[in-house]
C-alpha cells in the first residue's frame, strides 16, 4: 500500500480506493477542479443512475395513465402545448404538477430523513418519529385554522413550526453542551406526542368545515395539488439540497462522533445546528405541500445505505429513493382499485408502520 493510499490523499488525476469510514473501505475516484476536490463512488453513481431511470419510467407511466389514456408521443406534445385543449389541460394542469409535487416531496423527505438519522446516529432518528414532521404539521394547521392562509402562508407556517419544534427538541436533548443521538430521539417522541394532542385539539374545537380540511390534510394527499405546490417545493429543493450537499463531509464526521469532527477542525455543535435547521426547512415545505406523509423519511436513507454499501449521509440516493417511493405510492393510489380511494399518506403509513416494527424487532 502506498503512502497516499494509507493517508487517503491523492495526486491530481489519481484513481484509487480513497474512502475509509464506518462502512469500511469503499472504491472510488478523487476528482479535482482547481482548489476543490470530491470523491466519487462508482457503485453510488450506478445506483443513482438506476434510480433515476426508474423515476423517469414511473413518471412516464403516471402521465400517460388516466382519463384520457395517452401515448408517450401525445403526452409529450401536450406538455409543449400541442394537441387537443382537454388533453393539454389534463396533462399540464393536473397530471404534471401532481407528479412533480410527488417526486419533489418524496425526495425532500428522503434527504431530510437521511440528515436526521446521521445527526442522531440512529435509524429511528426519522422526522416522523422525533416530532419534526408533527411540528411542521402543527404550524400548518394553526395557519389553516386561525389565518386561512394560502399555499405560501401554509408553507411558511409549516417551516416555522418545524424549526421551533427542532429548537425545542435540540435544546431539551442537550446535556453537558452536547445533543446526544438517543436523547434526541426520546425527547422528540415526547414532543411529538404533545404536538399531536395540539392538532387534535384544533380538530375537535374547530368549525366543521375547518375540521374536515384538517383531517384531509393530515392524511397526506396529492389530490388537487397544482403548480403553486410544485413550485414551492421546487424552490426549497433548489436552495436547500445543495446547501446540505455542501455539508455532507462535515455530517459524515459528526456521525463518527464529535471528537472525530473536532479533530479535523469541524465545529460539531454549529454544524449540527445549522444542518438541522436547513433539513427542517426542507421538511416543512414538503409537509406544507401534501400534509404529513409517513415512511419515506424513515426508510429511504436505510435502503439507500444498503444499495450503495456505504454509511453516512446519502443525499442523492435518498432523494431519488424518496421520489421513487412516493411516486410509486401515488401511482398505485391512482391506478389500483382497492374499492377505496385511500390518501397516499395512509398507504405509506401502513408500509411505514410495518417497517418500524421490523426496525424495533431488530433492536430489541
Residue 78 lies in a domain: no
pLDDT one-digit tens code per residue, 207-228? 887 788 788 778 788 888 889 8
pLDDT one-digit tens code per residue, 101-149? 999 999 999 999 999 888 888 777 888 888 888 888 888 888 888 887 7
- CATH code of the domain covering residue 313: 1.10.3470.10
Residue 178 lies in a domain: yes
Residue 24 lies in a domain: no
Give the range of the structural domain holding residue 61, as residue numbers without chain letter.
Answer: 45-68+96-363
Return the C-alpha cell found at 45.
453513481
Domain count, the chain: 1
Residue 17 lies in a domain: no
Residue 33 lies in a domain: no
Residue 13 lies in a domain: no
pLDDT one-digit tens code per residue, 334-363? 887 766 667 788 888 887 778 778 777 776
pTM over 0.85: no
Amino acid at each position: 500500500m502506498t503512502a497516499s493510499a494509507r493517508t487517503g490523499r491523492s495526486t491530481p488525476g489519481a484513481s484509487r480506493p480513497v474512502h475509509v469510514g464506518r462502512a469500511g473501505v469503499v472504491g472510488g475516484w478523487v476528482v479535482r477542479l482547481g482548489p476543490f476536490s470530491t470523491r466519487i463512488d462508482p457503485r453510488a453513481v450506478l445506483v443513482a443512475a438506476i434510480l433515476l431511470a426508474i423515476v423517469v419510467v414511473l413518471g412516464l407511466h403516471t402521465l400517460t395513465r388516466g382519463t384520457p389514456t395517452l401515448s408517450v408521443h401525445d403526452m409529450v406534445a401536450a406538455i409543449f402545448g400541442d394537441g387537443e385543449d382537454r388533453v393539454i389541460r389534463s396533462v399540464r394542469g393536473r397530471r404534471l404538477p401532481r407528479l412533480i409535487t410527488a417526486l419533489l416531496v418524496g425526495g425532500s423527505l428522503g434527504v431530510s430523513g437521511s440528515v436526521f438519522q446521521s445527526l442522531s446516529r440512529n435509524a429511528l432518528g426519522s422526522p416522523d418519529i422525533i416530532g419534526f414532521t408533527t411540528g411542521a404539521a402543527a404550524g400548518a394547521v394553526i395557519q389553516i385554522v386561525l389565518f386561512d392562509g394560502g399555499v405560501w402562508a401554509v408553507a411558511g407556517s409549516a417551516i416555522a413550526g418545524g424549526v421551533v419544534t427542532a429548537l425545542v427538541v435540540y435544546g431539551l436533548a442537550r446535556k453537558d453542551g452536547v445533543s446526544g443521538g438517543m436523547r434526541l430521539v426520546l425527547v422528540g417522541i415526547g414532543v411529538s406526542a404533545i404536538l399531536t394532542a395540539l392538532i387534535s385539539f384544533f380538530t375537535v374545537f374547530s368549525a366543521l368545515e375547518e375540521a374536515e380540511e384538517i383531517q384531509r390534510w393530515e392524511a397526506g394527499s396529492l389530490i388537487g395539488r397544482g403548480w403553486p405546490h410544485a413550485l414551492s417545493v421546487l424552490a426549497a429543493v433548489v436552495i436547500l439540497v445543495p446547501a446540505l450537499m455542501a455539508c455532507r463531509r462535515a455530517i459524515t464526521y459528526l456521525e463518527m462522533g464529535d471528537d472525530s469532527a473536532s479533530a479535523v477542525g469541524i465545529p460539531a455543535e454549529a454544524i449540527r445546528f445549522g444542518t438541522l435547521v436547513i433539513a427542517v426547512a426542507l421538511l416543512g415545505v414538503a409537509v406544507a405541500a401534501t400534509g404529513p406523509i409517513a415512511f419515506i423519511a424513515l426508510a429511504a436513507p436505510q435502503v439507500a445505505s444498503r444499495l450503495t454499501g456505504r454509511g453516512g449521509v446519502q443525499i442523492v440516493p435518498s432523494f431519488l429513493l424518496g421520489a421513487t417511493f412516493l411516486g410509486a405510492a401515488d401511482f398505485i393510489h391512482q391506478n389500483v382499485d382497492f374499492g377505496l380511494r385511500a390518501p397516499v399518506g395512509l398507504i405509506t403509513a401502513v408500509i411505514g408502520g410495518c417497517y418500524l416494527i421490523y426496525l424495533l424487532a431488530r433492536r430489541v
